[in-house]
Amino acid sequence: MKKNISLLLRARRELRRVADPRKAPFMKAYMKSAMPYHGVSAPLMRSACVRMFEDADFRTREAWSKGVLELWRGAKYREERYVAIACCGDRRAAAYQTLAAMPIYEEMIVTGAWWDYVDTLAAWEVGALLRKYPVAMRKKMLRWSASENMWKRRTSIICQLKFKKDTNLELLYACIEPSLDSREFFLRKAIGWALRQYAWTDPKEVRRYVRQNHGRLSGLSRREALKNI
């Protein structure tokens, strides 16, 4: 691929090349997506991204962020946004994972507004920044936990999914608190998921928390939290 071809056009050509259009309507229906699919399976998506990024220009933060946002904003197919998310996690972009990247992730979370986008960004990109900048990101996640935007709330709850014994319980519970009484499925599910994940590390603490908040936690949240205990 020539370097003067935009990353979006490069992605679109490669995805079309490996796509199975017969799968596209089923993928669209499963994800309840307004945006169409090319029909690219997850394994083919991963290998396609490797090829797409081989000669991509990520030498500067500006070039990287331009590529990510070009993919995200210009996408006509859902997989093209998956490429944008993969671009965020590319090893050559490691140096750009600073607080300056948060406006990009915030835009993707707010405009993506669906679990397939949000959960990956929350657990990997936002979570990594929380590890790296705990003070600043703690403040931001606390603000997001009380946001009017449901997907920001979900992000604040699940951003520590990969933390295990490093989970900041005080922050987790503080981010759950504003959504405890919510009737939103995706928030109830997020609460249960975050608690279930931490239960692998400290099941007694999760039991205690569920017992203490039994009257406020939804049945869904309780079931999810205790599923693997």
Residue 31 has, within 13 A of its CA and on its CB side, a CA count of 20
Q: What are the structural domain ranges in the chain?
A: 1-96, 114-229
Q: Which CATH class is domain 1-96?
A: mainly alpha
CATH number of 114-229: 1.25.10.90
Q: Given this chain, do its domains 1-96 and 114-229 carry the same CATH topology? A: yes
Q: What are the φ/ψ torsions at residue 48 (nearest 5 degrees)? A: -65, -40
pTM, two decimals, is 0.96
pLDDT tens for each residue of the chain, 229 residues long? 444 469 999 999 999 999 999 999 999 999 999 999 999 999 999 999 999 998 888 999 999 999 999 999 999 999 999 999 999 999 999 999 999 999 999 999 999 999 999 999 999 999 999 999 999 999 999 999 999 999 999 999 999 999 999 999 999 999 999 999 999 999 999 999 999 999 999 999 999 999 999 999 999 999 999 999 9
From the list 74, 88, 87, 93, the residue with the least C-alpha distance to 12 is 74
User: Which pair of tokens denotes residue 11?
Assistant: 């992605």
- Give the SS3 label for residue 5: coil
What's the rounded Cα separation, in Å, for the pair 212 and 189? 19
